[in-house]
């Protein structure tokens, strides 16, 4: 059984930041990151896979960043956490820890609308294989509908349009896209000035 001062479950933005921060503030402590993915995507870079960078491999966080900061990596899914014994189990290993950080991130929530489970309907998941399939579908599409006019929805719309002859529609429940970030006056002004190429 391996033992660490700090164990971090989750290898994306929050987990990576937590592990590196723990090591920087307490360099004498041993820090382990456990993640289930072989490779980790840069979450905020996901929309750019579909346009600017054009490939999933160009949007990965290199494991060298962990090595460079003295964080040990274990790839495997955590199957059990025993808080009283301060121990976690993966499919292949057991780890004893002093402090535990759970930073497993989020999953997209499917809107409660009919047809969301049909073929050709995708959500933005942080999984390489899933996003590869989505990239294939985008490359073969002539019409795409994006539900959600927040930052991710608008970035996806912009990126999917790059280098493609494609029609993109954005559906947003609020009166304007990006309305949770900009006030209504700004949104109306943007529409009036025709600088809303994504709206």
User: Which residues have a catalytic role annotated?
Assistant: 44
| Per-residue exposure over 66-80, b if at least 16 CB sit within 10 Å of its own CB, e if not | beebebbebbeebee
Provide the 3-class DSSP secondary structure of residue 157: helix
Q: How far is CA 33 from CA 5, 16, 18, 69, in A?
A: 11, 8, 9, 12
Could you list the beta-strand ranges (E) of 58-163: 60-61, 71-75, 78-82, 87-90, 94-102, 143-147
DSSP β-bridge partners for residue 31: 6, 71
Contact 111, 146 (CB under 8 A): no
């Amino acid at each position: 059984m391996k033992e660490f001062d700090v164990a971090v479950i989750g290898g994306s933005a929050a987990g990576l930041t937590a592990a590196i921060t723990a090591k920087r503030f307490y360099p004498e402590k041993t820090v382990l990151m456990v993640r289930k993915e072989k490779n980790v995507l840069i979450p905020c870079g996901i929309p750019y896979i579909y346009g600017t960078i054009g490939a999933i491999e160009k949007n990965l966080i290199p494991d060298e960043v962990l090595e460079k900061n003295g964080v040990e990596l274990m790839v495997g899914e955590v199957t059990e956490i025993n808080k009283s014994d301060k121990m976690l189990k993966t499919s292949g290993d057991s780890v004893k820890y002093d402090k535990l950080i759970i930073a497993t991130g989020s999953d997209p929530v499917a809107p409660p609308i009919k047809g969301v489970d049909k073929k050709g309907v995708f959500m933005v998941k942080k999984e390489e294989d899933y996003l590869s399939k989505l990239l294939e579908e985008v490359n073969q599409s002539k019409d795409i509908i994006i539900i959600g006019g927040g930052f991710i929805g608008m970035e996806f719309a912009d990126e999917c349009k790059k280098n493609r002859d494609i029609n993109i529609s954005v559906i947003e429940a609020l009166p304007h896209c990006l309305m949770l970030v900009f006030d209504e006056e700004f949104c109306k002004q943007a529409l009036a000035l025709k600088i809303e190429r994504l709206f």
